A and B are shown apart, each in its own frame.
Chain A
Amino acid sequence: MIIKENVCNNITTINLWGTLDATTAPTLRNFKSAAAPADPVVINMSDVDFLDSSGLGALVGLTREKREQGGEVTLACMNNKVRKVFEITQVYRLFDIYDDVEAATINAEKKQTRL
């Protein structure tokens, strides 16, 4: 699992590459973002080729932590395999899911401006 982070206009985009499973979930869980705690985060999932319950747990944990700090996590560009995991577990109810990183970023920016 490779994690890369871009910060632009106070919006952090986290790009994930590879498999998000029991072995790689701790990497995401322990990932320390350079962004301010209350800044919104967009997670680009386009290159996540596998996701299991541990990976899902890491994503939910990250989101919960962010929300506690006043921030928000948005997911973008889920492929079909990953979307099916969200569908089975009904975790999609917890997230705002976009099919485009740019649109997710713009929307996160809009939300932040409104605040």
Chain B
Amino acid sequence: MKTLIIIKEKDYAWLRPIFTGIHPLLVPICNKPFIEFLIDFAILAGSDALRILSDGPLSDVEEYCDNGSRWGIAISYGSIKSSDETLLIMEKNHRYCAGERVLLMNGFVFIEYDKQHNYTALFAELPDGEILGCNKGSLSLRGTPGERPKVAGALPLSLVELDSLEVYYRLSMEILSFGESPYVIPGYSNEAYCHIGRNVVISKSAEIRKPVIIGNNVQIMADSIIGPLAVIGSNVIIDKASTVTDSIVLEKTYIGEQLEVQNRIAAGNILIEPESGISIAMDDPHLLTGIKKSGSAEILFQSVVHRLFALFLITVLLIPFLLLSPILKFQRKWKKSTGSYYINDAGKTLALTTTSINRQSLPGSIAAALSLDRFGLLFNVLSGQLAIIGSTPIAAKTDNSVPLLEMGSWYKAGVFSYAEAEEWPANGDERAIVERYFAVHGNPLLDIAMTIKAFFNLIHEIHTP
């Protein structure tokens, strides 16, 4: 059997303002992209090939699903016109559909199924035609069936029209409520009602109340309460003494200290009430309330500690630098470039000379592992222009417009970045989240520990293929 997924732009237009930049087929439902539920069902139904057809762009979906080898099913893609009827779509995919039965998933609908059920046998018995239908879509079989015995009993299937945020929220909560989930849910699950992803840090005093689903790279800080009925997306930080119940926290969201999120969908800086669809965009992009500027004595102490540690690193790295840099310069594997970078939140700029090392040779590999490309920047720490660890320096714009969203009050350019220390992606929103976190929780001694961590992470990075 083969499967055709037909999805039209008009069916998912409502999703666009909420999940900006995410293709509707990749919108996470309980931390699993929607398309994966459809792929799982196609496999359960006995399909060995699947084609996704849309009148809109599919490049993001194609990038995510590729040829389907991850699921062991051949995935292909095609384009249709928004006016095309199902029959014409079948004709347009005549070669794909020829000779085999075709399962048609039409519309932006969620198929409620049970992974324990044998759908392959069930569909083999079903005659051609519509299996299930609703206003927004249908599930049907086309092709030449072998036999047509009558199917006894109700079908262990149903369709949910994904046409509003309320339905999306209700569906997520429903999936969460299953002890033994009928779907394959990402994350480890040693006990019922609980799925936890990779690289999740949960403070000892935090409380997890089932049912709950937690994504990858999540930090749950002290005294926070997660659940019951909480979906926490990937790359989320729940700060101290916050409570998340009956809610969905979408990925890359920061829930600040002492916040109570109940019956809401939190997406970046937007809090949405699912029933009414009313949303509030927070002034602070990550729900972070009031980053307090350190006092002058604290700043002085931090600056002294940073300078001392920079001096220590200069002393340690001086000999490797003197030995390796001439060799690499001679081999033309040591390239310098100068650019203007913002160094603080006031938008002050500084011309920094950055070095890139070609790591193809042994000296290059050693130099990169020892972070010798940052050696010159350590002198900027001595002069107080850079921090030893802080934000990734942002290149200054030629039109002098400061990228305000990226440069909040926490911004202080550093030789190493907190993102490197925490092995978070060193660009974009994810980097900003971790930098904001340390702006609130950082202190000079923690900075030294984080610098050492970043230093060793870079060594590890170089030696990992």
Contact = CB atoms under 8 A, between A and B. Distances in A.
A84 B58 CA distance: 10
A103 B57 contact: no
B55 A93 contact: yes
Contact of A87 (B57, B80, B95): B57
A99 B88 CA distance: 12
Contacts of B80: 97
B77 A96 contact: no
A99 B57 contact: no
Given A87-B58, A88-B59, A97 B94 contact: no
Interface string A88-115: 1010110011111011001100000000
Nearest to A106: B91
A93 B57 contact: no
A83 B94 contact: no
Contacts of A107: 88, 91
Contacts of A84: 59
B91 A97 contact: no
Interface string B88-121: 1001111110100000000000000000000000
B94 A99 contact: yes
A87 B98 CA distance: 25
A93 B58 CA distance: 13
B269 interface: no
B95 A103 contact: yes
Contact of A98 (B57, B59, B77, B94): B94
A114 to B, nearest CB: 13
Contacts of A97: 78-80, 92
A96 B80 CA distance: 7
Contacts of B79: 83, 86-87, 92-93, 97
Contacts of A88: 59
A24 to B, nearest CB: 24
A99 B95 CA distance: 6
A114 B59 CA distance: 36
A98 B78 CA distance: 9
B329 interface: no
Interface string A29-53: 0000000000000000000000000
A103 B97 CA distance: 11
A96 B92 contact: yes
Nearest to B82: A93
Contacts of B77: 83, 87
Contacts of B93: 98-99
- Which of B88, B95, B98 has the most chain A CB atoms inside 10 A of its CB? B95
Given A87-B58, A88-B59, A90-B57, A103 B81 contact: no
Contacts of A98: 91-94
A92 B57 CA distance: 9
Interface in A64-87: 77, 83-84, 86-87
- Which of B55, B58, B92 has the most chain A CB atoms inside 10 A of its CB? B92
B96 A99 contact: yes
Given A87-B59, A90-B57, A93-B55, A103 B78 contact: no
Given A87-B57, A90-B57, A107-B91, A99 B78 contact: yes
For the complex of A and B, the 5 pairs showing the least CB-CB separation, nearest first, are A103-B94, A92-B79, A100-B95, A100-B94, A99-B95
Given A99-B93, A103-B91, 8 more contacts: A77-B95, A86-B79, A87-B59, A92-B79, A93-B55, A99-B78, A100-B94, A103-B95
14 contacts: A77-B95, A83-B78, A83-B79, A87-B58, A92-B79, A93-B79, A93-B81, A98-B91, A99-B78, A99-B93, A99-B96, A100-B98, A103-B95, A107-B88
